[in-house]
Amino acid sequence: MGVVVALPGEGSATTYHLRPPGGGTQWSAPADGTTLRPVPVKATHSTLLAGRDAVYDPRARQGSVPVEFHFDDGSTLDSVLILTSAELERLHAQTSRLLDAHERALGGTS
């Protein structure tokens, strides 16, 4: 994996010039770019999408929850989390446990 430091046609470059992300020995790749592949930006987390509600589709027997993916580069992408009936039940059990733990942390009862 490398960072492009010079493009073909820049100055006297006839190839792509790359260097490891943290620095180091430079190498070159053909000017046609056939050996280069972009590195996808890593998703760091997702959050519930504000202003949109979850929907259940009885025909498909699945629910969809609007979410927003957050990426390393600061960008975001709106999407949906699709859950089967079994996954909905599992998520319900997990979120119920989270809410119980939240109540206990606040000193309340559940």
The bridge status of strand 55-57 relative to strand 62-71 is: antiparallel
Q: What pLDDT, on a 0 to 100 scale, did the predictor assign at position 109?
A: 58
Flag whether pLDDT at 110 surpasses 60: no
Average pLDDT over residues 10-16: 76
Predicted confidence (pLDDT) per residue in 35-61, tens digit:
888 888 899 999 999 999 999 999 999
**pLDDT greater at residue 17 or residue 48:** 48
DSSP 8-state secondary structure symbol assigned to residue 60: T
Q: How many CA atoms lie within 13 A of 46 on its CB side?
A: 12
**How many residues would you count in the chain?**
110
Cβ atoms of 77 and 71 closer than 8 Å: yes
CA–CA dist 35, 9 (Å, integer): 17
Flag whether pLDDT at 11 surpasses 70: no
Predicted confidence (pLDDT) per residue in 18-41, tens digit:
999 888 999 989 888 888 888 888
The residues spanned by each domain of the chain are: 1-37, 43-106
Residue 59, CA distances (Å) to 29, 79, 82, 84, 87 in order: 52, 21, 14, 12, 16
